Structure 1
């Protein structure tokens, strides 16, 4: 009996938060015409056939899957087209992203395509498909165009799915005209930016059963989304509104619940500012079986107690409250679970994640749970050190997440026999060897940040593998591309791999995000990348790769992020730059590239946001055309040989004047209903030290680093218009002139480094308004006057910030300023006059003394002493002979003379004879 009580107690500890995966069981329904068939004996009309052909003309079909769309064929036999088998009218158009393979028996004339992936624009010719009830274009790439307005005129539609198709802009309110719609899915892709002006059109869709606006910005509809829109859909069965920026709701909750059939609710990841009454309203819906309220920042102990009092907790099959703030006593939830004990055998998924890492899951090794889960997620909790053996009883488990749970064990053999498709065991201390091969398939495996050793395993039927930051060694298997043909996500970074990148990598046609950084890889980058059209992110940084960048790699149509820094790559820079089409993050720093920045850069890299060419051997001027990169907000050209002036057009760079609201620099994959983001980063010099910035941080970095070049001229005054500029580093150049007077307009500036230039004049008083400034270096210039002391300057008490400027005075320097300095407007003129008078006086004094000393010390002694006079003239004769010999030698040896000139010029260019030893020593 005691053992049984212990098991029950453990069961309640596990179910304490009862947070279940937000795995919505899909509602199977045939939204299209029930009589629709892919092949119709009647045949489609000429009007509908022509409409489809016009629609095809606006599309780019990379997989050639629409080759069956031929003017002379019955369009009911075309790929993705279904017709009514009685009338022949086109009723269904299903062109969602898919991996397909058609054979002759499919009735498509032997057509073969591996992947349907459309790009381009949508033609209004679809309006001629008057009987169309089903339209699915999800997963394609429509390049940020708005959802066409004409879609709202397709009044017979019952099923509309435009999700993950890279649409942007405002959701057209004309969609409210689709009164027959049963299914609506508008989730944007990772690079999409959809938003609504309001949701007043939504109640017109009175028949709607499925609504998914996840990721659409609904902030402008926060005041009416519930009472004036969603609650007026009586037929709604599933409501998905995660990541919608909903931060409030009408303070008066609806008095009644109109959608009495709702079974799935997902409001996760919204910054609600609310109370427990908001939660209580939802839990009054007795039909709810799947609820996800993760990371709402409103679930506290009081709210949890309120939820626990509802009898409908007992009807739930999935409840997710993860990532909220659970504080204080939660006894009422435990009591509620005890009342529901007869229902726990149906528990399907469990989430015990903790926002504050305060939950300890201590379970006996011989415990046998009463349920058989399909999904388990335990993160940021203490589960280890041993691997939980009770998982062996979960024979239905297909999704397992045990991340950051302090497990420091080996994986038992029975683990690989579980029917798991999705595994995340990251951020533990798991160790040992991994199986070399597995006969079964997985959708996703994440074993990153552990201590696994041995070679890279070849697990054939895998779509995604993450082995980042382990101890895997040896070469990458040469059979990689042959053994793992469906791989789409691969991260082997931060291991101890060696050898070269295998040529078979080009067979991974579905690969989107390979990351091999921070290893010991050598050799050249494989030359053939043309087959990998889906590549979006490549990270080969921090290895020992050599050779040039293959042109086929630079010309990938969807490549948005390329990280090749810290290698030994070489070649002409422009040869690669001219191939890019849609790159937004490019890091070629710490290599051996030569050449200059081409003037056509603004016509090729039109989308570039982050450009890092640091520490190469680039030369020439920085072209004015660089200012045409309107999205650029990170520019690092430091440690090169650029010369000439800084472009005066910097003020035209809009990327430094506006907040970057784009969602890029990060490739995401949707695998097993989980968004996967590769770990990508960039090393930058900021605040006087090198730091590594991840993807989220890079989006808010506004940096210009032109340090350690040979730039000359003045600092452009227009640079003060770059209002979001956070880091400006112009150190170790040949810049002259003064610091722009309006530099205080750079209110976001955190780092200013002008070390080792020729900058003169006073420190502008406007710099006192730079309240975010935390790193300043003005040393080794020719600045003069009093160091400001107001505001932020009071914190810069390190004298090294100002050293090497002999005409600066005031704290923290020991040089004191005069008690009553003249006004700044005429201080320079007065100082110049005083200097002139002093110079004249000492000139006459020195001239008189020099004449007396020189005449009597030399000429007088020669007149008096005869032997000295003879010796002196002999010395002069010998000196004359030596001088003639030296002149003749220099005239004959012109090569040596040229070399001497080159050495002298190099010396003067580097720092200048007038500069201090310290500046020369640093360089």
Structure 2
């Protein structure tokens, strides 16, 4: 009954408790407001799922919840639960998933006794809490998904806890984003689990903020979120090794890669070319250099959001395959964003850019672009001059700068350049002729002057040639006289 208002339903729990065979209760965002403090008798003998997320419940968790021993899925996140961390949760020995995110427990993560009783627990979400790193996580052997994001976890993680975490051999998804964690074994951040998802965005991993090399051993990695992780090395070509796609979107709908606000350097790695279903590519605020690769437009055909702002790219390219690329109705309906601002792009804006018919947002500000802004049906709809701000040599609408003077100046510069080029070509021609004559003359005459045997042979050959010519001429004249 998600999104059904229970504001005036004071006895909702008692009414549901009268249904002994109910198996699932899902009351997400129903404005429950509070937890009934007690039940005379817990009648939920068949209940496996209790989902009360997003109800602004401002109370402690009542004990009767932990008496429903048949529970397998308990979702209480997105409320205002408080009190102490519920040690009684260990009574729910059938529990497979537990979500307590957004609660405000005193003393944060307290020591939970008998946590090993939760031997079937696979999903644990404790995001948006606070406190020190929980030292009992390593005892949940079958854990597959662990969410400790947005907990303000900071300081050093004890080496014993790191060893315990290494026991989580079944872990597939780990989210410790929005924290500041210091790992004692900091060479590779965390133990090498076989992960499907890794979220470490806005999480300053100290003291060696680099890509953990064990990522190449994660053949099933599906989700990777590393924005603002403080990485200070070149993007490794092995990062997507063994991967077909990278899924990094928080909403898990589109395939996205977010590596913004790091210190990544070098060129955009060619290995990303294989991520053909990327819809969002955010590499902004790094130190990438060189040309923007053409394969971004040729291979990433589903790309609808591209952010490369605040890097050091120097060349602009036509990133769409043009008439060779057929866009479906679905693709044409997408909001498409291209952000190339704050780079060092130089040269004119390609005329083909004006032919794009699916672009919703464009940002070319603060580069070194020049010339007339291309005319096109869609580009003319971008009337915000800030799109082209920081390019003093651009002209034409929507900018107020007139291109006439620039064109005349450019024509004069081009004429001067052609004249200078012609003079250089003439000078080079005469220089080549002179050098050729000098080299040819001394190659022959110099050798005759220096070598006596060569001179003798040369002049003897000349004499022989003249003798033969003389004989041939005399014989020819004699034959001609006899015929007369």
Query: TM-score, normalising length from structure 2?
Result: 0.64
Q: CA RMSD in A?
A: 3.8
Pick from 557, 560, 567 the counterpart of residue 144 of structure 2: 560
Q: Would the aligned equivalents of 2:45 and 2:70 in 1 still touch at CA under 8 Å?
A: no
Mapping of residues 59-78 of structure 1, within 5 Å: none
Assess if the C-alpha contact under 8 Å between 1:474 and 1:496 holds in 2. yes
1:155-234 alignment, distance < 5 Å: none
1:616 maps to which of 203, 207, 222: 203
Give distance in 2, aligned partners of 1:617 and 1:405.
41
> 1:594·1:616 contact (CA, 8 Å) conserved in 2?
no
Matches within 5 A, 1:619-658: 619-650=208-239, 652-656=241-245
Show the counterpart of 2:273: 720
Residue by residue over 1:62-114, the C-alpha shift from the partner in whole angstroms, topping out at 9 and shown as x without a partner, is xxxxxxxxxxxxxxxxxxxxxxxxxxxxxxxxxxxxxxxxxxxxxxxxxxxxx
Structure 1, unpaired ranges of 5+: 1-401, 445-461, 661-683, 687-691, 820-829, 838-923
Shift of 1:518: 2.3
Is 2:32–2:57's contact at 8 Å kept on the other side of the alignment?
Answer: no
Structure 1 residue 735 corresponds to structure 2 residue 318: no
Instruction: Tell me the CA shift for residue 752 of structure 1.
Output: 1.5
Give the SS at the match of 1:645: coil
CA shift for structure 1 position 765: 3.8
User: CA distance change for structure 1 residues 586 and 623 in 2, over 3 Å: closer, same or farther?
Assistant: closer
Q: Assess if the C-alpha contact under 8 Å between 1:651 and 1:720 holds in 2.
A: no
Does residue 702 of the first structure (1) align with residue 289 of the second (2)? no
1:755 maps onto 2:356 in alignment? no
Tell me if the contact between 2:227 and 2:259 (Cα under 8 Å) persists in the aligned partners. Answer: yes
Deviation for aligned residue 1:753 = 1.2
Number of residue equivalences: 364
1:652–1:590 CA distance, 2 compared to 1 (3 A): same
Deviation at 1:433, TM superposition (A): 6.3
Q: Which residue of the partner structure matches residue 441 of structure 1?
A: 43
Please tell me whether the aligned partners of residues 481 and 506 of structure 1 are also in contact (alpha carbons under 8 angstroms).
no
Query: Which whole-Å CA distance do the structure 2 matches of 1:724 and 1:712 have between them?
Result: 24
C-alpha distance in 2 between matches for 1:535 and 1:569? 23
How far is the alpha carbon of 1:734 from its aligned partner? 1.7
Instruction: Answer yes or no: is the 8 Å Cα contact 2:236–2:269 preserved in 1.
Output: yes
Shift of 1:537: 0.7
Task: Report if aligned partners of 1:410, 1:432 keep a CA contact under 8 Å in 2.
Answer: no
Using the TM superposition, give the Cα deviation of residue 567 of structure 1 relative to its aligned residue in structure 2, in angstroms.
Answer: 0.9
Q: How does 1:796-875 map to 2 (within 5 A)?
A: 796=359, 801-807=363-369, 809=371, 810-811=373-374, 813=388, 815-816=394-395
Residues of 2 paired with 1:403 and 1:481: CA distance?
20
How far apart, in 2, do the equivalents of 1:749 and 1:411 lie? 50
Residue 719 of structure 1 aligns to a residue in which SS? helix
Q: How does 1:102-181 map to 2 (within 5 A)?
A: none
Question: Which gives a bigger RCO, structure 1 or 2 (Cα 8 Å, sep 6+)?
Answer: 2
CA-CA distance at 1:410 after TM superposition? 2.3
Aligned partners of 1:466, 1:808: CA distance in 2, in Å?
58
- Bigger Rg, which one: 2
Structure 1 partner of 2:124: 538
Scaled by the length of structure 1, the TM-score of the pair is 0.35
Q: Which runs of 5+ in 2 are unaligned?
A: 380-387, 397-402, 405-412, 421-484
- SS of equivalent residue, structure 2 residue 216: helix
Give the CA deviation at 1:571. Answer: 4.7
Shift of 1:496: 1.4
SS of residue in 2 equivalent to 1:616: coil
> How far did residue 646 of structure 1 move?
0.2
Shift of 1:405: 6.0
Residue 431 of structure 1: how far off its partner (Å): 7.0
Query: Which of 580, 593, 603 is equivalent to 2:181?
Result: 593
Identify the structure with the greater strand proportion: 1
1:777 to 339, 347, 358: 339
For residues 432 and 654 of structure 1, the distance between their equivalents in structure 2, rounded to whole angstroms, comes to: 46
Over 3 Å counting, the alpha-carbon distance change for 1:490 and 1:710 in structure 2 is: same
Q: How far does the alpha carbon of each residue in 1:619-671 deviate from its partner, in whole angstroms, 9 at most, with x for none?
A: 432245423322223211111221110002245242418xx9xxxxxxxxxxx
**Aligned residues of 2:34 and 2:56 also touching (Cα < 8 A):** no
CA distance in 2, matches of 1:590, 1:609: 19
Determine helix, strand or coil for the equivalent of 2:57.
Answer: strand
**Quick one: distance in 2 between partners of 1:766 and 1:650?**
26
Partner Cα distance (2:210, 2:32) in 1: 52
> Kindly tell me: are residues 480 and 592 of structure 1, through their superposed partners in 2, closer, same or farther at Cα, counting changes over 3 Å?
farther
Q: Secondary structure in 1 aligned to 2:81? A: strand
In structure 2, distance between residues paired with 1:474 and 1:502: 13
Please give the alpha-carbon distance, in whole angstroms, between the structure 1 residues aligned to 2:234 and 2:49: 48
CA distance in 1, matches of 2:239, 2:318: 21
**Cα distance, 1:555 vs structure 2:** 5.2
List per-residue Cα deviations over 1:29-87 (Å, max 9, x = no partner).
xxxxxxxxxxxxxxxxxxxxxxxxxxxxxxxxxxxxxxxxxxxxxxxxxxxxxxxxxxx
Choose the corresponding residue for 1:510, options 94, 97, 110.
Answer: 94
